[in-house]
Amino acid sequence: MTVTGEAAAQEAAAFHFYEPAKGHGLAFDPIKSIVAPRPIGWISTVDAEGRVNLAPYSFFNAFSSRPPIIGFSNERESDSLANAKATGEFVFNLVTARLASAMNVTSELVPRGVDEMAMAELAPAPSRLVKPPRVAASPASFECKVLEIKPLTALDGTPTRATLVLGQVIGVHIDKAYLKEGVFDTAAAQPLARCGSLSDYAVVRELFQMSRPGMAPPARKAGG
């Protein structure tokens, strides 16, 4: 629908509109502040020689539940991307409020082969099905096998600087302290989320419940 005349004038007065290809005209790019909060994928990988790498990715999410598929997008030729390409494996670790500073340390641009897990004084714990270790202090980690590595292209077909890594979750570790009656207690874990183009973060500390229309609240079940 295209708005014209008086309606268009009112719209323009109330809303800032821009076409990203032509610039946003604001002090900071608002996209990352609007697509917020974003979960942070704290991704551990190893290179072909087994050297550990750990880095945070907020262009991260889950895309399928059965099977569970998650992904993270690299906006440069990162070590995480190179390692995922070389080994076909990565591990997602949940970042919590308590781990915020350590997560930040692991975002530093360091030469390839430097172990950010050691740099942040985080103990590794062995994975069961893949080579990259998980972060022992994280309340939840997913062992993943790479499904697809997809360089992203723009509408006109030109390559962007982003490459999406999608992986299938083949193993899940959950600290039992955060399991309450078979449910992962998100509010107790206090996940950290990325919020803006500046240095903004949020912590999930409070939840509320709302059932989908016509659907009973999901039944609690063991296993499955």
Ligand X SMILES: Cc1cc2nc3c(=O)[nH]c(=O)nc-3n(C[C@H](O)[C@H](O)[C@H](O)COP(=O)(O)O)c2cc1C
Choose between 115 and 175: whose C-beta lies nearer to ligand X: 115
d(CA 193, CA 42): 11
The least CB distance from residue 205 to ligand X, in Å, is 18
By the 8 A CB rule, do 185 and 177 touch?
Answer: no
Choose between 78 and 93: whose C-beta lies nearer to ligand X: 78
Can you list the positions of beta strands (E) in the chain? 38-39, 41-46, 52-57, 60-65, 68-74, 89-94, 124-125, 134-135, 140-153, 159-174, 179-180, 183-184, 192-194, 201-203
Give the binding site for ligand X (CB under 6 A): 40, 53, 55-59, 73-76, 78-80, 104, 107, 109, 194
Q: Quick check: helix, strand or coil at residue 113?
A: coil
d(CA 218, CA 221): 9
The Cα-based distances of 203 to 80, 90, 95, 116 in angstroms read 25, 25, 10, 23
Choose between 76 and 182: whose C-beta lies nearer to ligand X: 76
Residues linked to residue 167 through DSSP beta bridges, in sequence order: 70, 146
Choose between 4 and 94: whose C-beta lies nearer to ligand X: 94
Choose between 80 and 141: whose C-beta lies nearer to ligand X: 80
The least CB distance from residue 137 to ligand X, in Å, is 17
The least CB distance from residue 34 to ligand X, in Å, is 15
Choose between 73 and 141: whose C-beta lies nearer to ligand X: 73
d(CA 203, CA 192): 5
d(CA 202, CA 224): 31
The least CB distance from residue 180 to ligand X, in Å, is 28
The least CB distance from residue 196 to ligand X, in Å, is 11
The least CB distance from residue 162 to ligand X, in Å, is 7
